[in-house]
Structure 1
């Protein structure tokens, strides 16, 4: 249980099968070591795997990961993981990071119509950073205007939301179009992290 935030408590039932070493070569480790990512979670009811698994993949490959939220109070995941965010999402400067990642879960809709979240996503995209979103979080990117005419995926309940914003929904577990990476939900969390790691190496 390495490199997790101080104060992070993982629900025991999450431990089984969670820590899977990414299938990455030494070249990826070398090329992304020292890079930085920020993962934005809901103040409550983020989806545990969608934070923890990509975070583990990135950190094992040398990326420094910062967790941000709309509150600095301890946040509880849908399955019981507890995380104390390090920064407020309103303090994020996209230029400080190589990847900006929106984590899903039922609480993630708090960012859907948030103009600051939209600005962060757009600033990161304009600066050619990696912009990621998983589960229902791709709706935030869609409403920020980033998914228009882009291949993207999302959780099944939010397909119409991204399509109405012009996204080309593919139904894939993980979809990459340029520097935008989207994923369908918790079952895709590991692959989502690996895809971001690969993108950071390119």
Structure 2
């Protein structure tokens, strides 16, 4: 059985961006392992959902997983400028495995340097995403979901279903 990692913030992850793609992947026979800063319980934005965190960032064994996807929500900014996450993403990119992000989280991919020469999208309500992507060598695309090779990015909760379906396609 294929397994992927969904990286969520310990506090204030976006519940639809997590639950909808997770259900789609699991329906396709792909196991989703939830990772965060620490094992335990993560809390969604607005305290709507509590999610069991299966694995901490420090305990990821890359060989066990086919993909790494960062879920959005206001709490995801804790992974901006996070060297552990950046190093994981750089290693992931070198291996050719699938990776991606939804909502605000494509900014993490860009700042980690793993979107160079890749088309990407994300949450842009503040008008800063396009410049951030360009500054980091990525190509901004305002579609709701963008797939460029093994990289999948999505704009936000409204694109969560399509994000999940595209992850399944890339992993098949």
Does residue 193 (structure 1) correspond to residue 171 (structure 2)? The answer is no
RMSD: 1.1
Q: Deviations over 1:49-102 (max 9, x none)?
A: 111011000000000110000122311111411112011022112222101011
Supply the distance in 1 between the matched residues of 2:2 and 2:66 (Cα, whole angstroms).
6
Highest CA radius of gyration, 1 or 2?
1
Instruction: For residue 38 of structure 1, report the CA deviation from its aligned partner.
Output: 0.6
TM normalised by structure 2 equals 0.94
**Are 1:130 and 2:98 an aligned pair?**
yes
Deviations 1:7-27 (A, max 9, x none): xxxxxxxxxxxxxxxxxxxxx
The residue aligned with 1:121 is 89
Q: Which runs of structure 1 show a deviation greater than 3 angstroms over 4 or more consecutive aligned residues?
A: none
Which is further off, 142-151 or 36-45? Answer: 142-151
Q: Within 2, Cα distance between the matches of 1:195 and 1:83?
A: 23
- Alpha carbons 1:174, 1:181 under 8 Å: kept: yes
State whether residues 94 and 100 of structure 1, in contact with CA within 8 Å, keep that contact through their aligned partners in structure 2: no
Deviation at residue 162 of structure 1 after TM alignment: 2.1
CA drift at 1:132: 1.3
Shift of 1:179: 0.9
Question: Hey, what's the Cα distance between the residues in 2 that align with 1:95 and 1:119?
Answer: 15
User: 1:181 maps to which residue?
Assistant: 152
The answer as to whether partners of 1:95 and 1:124 remain within 8 angstroms in 2 is no
Task: Mark the runs of 5 or more structure 1 residues left unpaired by the alignment.
Answer: 1-33
Match of 1:98?
66
Q: Which residue among 44, 47, 65 is the counterpart of 2:11?
A: 44
The DSSP-based 3-state class of the residue aligned with 2:109 is helix
Q: Is the 8 A contact 1:93 1:120 kept in 2?
A: no
Q: Pick from 37, 44, 47 the counterpart of residue 77 of structure 1.
A: 44
Question: Aligned equivalents of 2:58 and 2:133: distance in 1?
Answer: 24
Q: CA deviation at 1:148?
A: 1.5
What is the TM-score with the length of structure 1 in the denominator? 0.80
